[in-house]
Amino acid sequence: MAEQPTIIALQAGNYIDAVAGFVSERGGVSFVELRDLLSGMSTEFFQVIAEALRTHRIETKPTQVLVYLIDGEALNMPLAKSLRQYKEPHWLPVAFNKYTPVGRRRSNKP
């Protein structure tokens, strides 16, 4: 369940704030979870996600298919293994996280 600030933002119609808050609260949020948060919306759902990404409220990171399986849904299509043009559509599972400016990101280097 969403925390109180996210619920208040949803009730007020501040969907971008609601999405950003929900992602900040939970981290590693799948499309399935966001769809459930914004249930009843279709076209607006994608507009809200696109705007939250464009304004750097949230960001995407590749994730495992298992995240989507746990959430109860996964696409029935080949997985993208690299960033390239495929002959047929492929799927790259992503999770949404709070946006982190480049200078503040943790490095995986020793």
Residue 109 lies in a domain: no
Residue 46 lies in a domain: yes
Q: What distance in Å separates the CA atoms of residue 62 and residue 14, rounded to the nearest whole number?
A: 27
Residue 108 lies in a domain: no
Confidence of residue 90 (pLDDT cuts 50, 70, 90): very high
Residue 107 lies in a domain: no
Q: What distance in Å separates the CA atoms of residue 31 and residue 95, rounded to the nearest whole number?
A: 7
For 32-77, how does the pLDDT look when each residue is reduced to its tens digit (9 = 90+)? 999 888 887 778 888 999 999 999 999 999 999 999 999 999 888 9
**How many domains, in total, are found in the chain?**
1
High-pLDDT (> 70) share of the chain, %: 92
Q: Tell me if 65 sits within 8 A of 79, measured CB to CB.
A: yes
Residue 48 lies in a domain: yes
Structural domain of residue 56, as residue ranges? 4-101
Kindly report which listed range (49-53, 75-79, 85-89, 103-107) carries the lowest average pLDDT score: 103-107
- Output the CA–CA distances (angstroms, integers) from residue 83 to 51, 52, 79, 90, 92, in the order listed: 23, 23, 11, 10, 9
Residue 38 lies in a domain: yes
Residue 110 lies in a domain: no
Residue 28 lies in a domain: yes
For 1-25, how does the pLDDT look when each residue is reduced to its tens digit (9 = 90+)? 677 888 898 889 899 999 999 999 9
- The pLDDT of residue 110: 45
- The pLDDT of residue 68: 94
Mean predicted lDDT score pLDDT of the chain: 88
Q: What distance in Å separates the CA atoms of residue 89 and residue 2, rounded to the nearest whole number?
A: 33
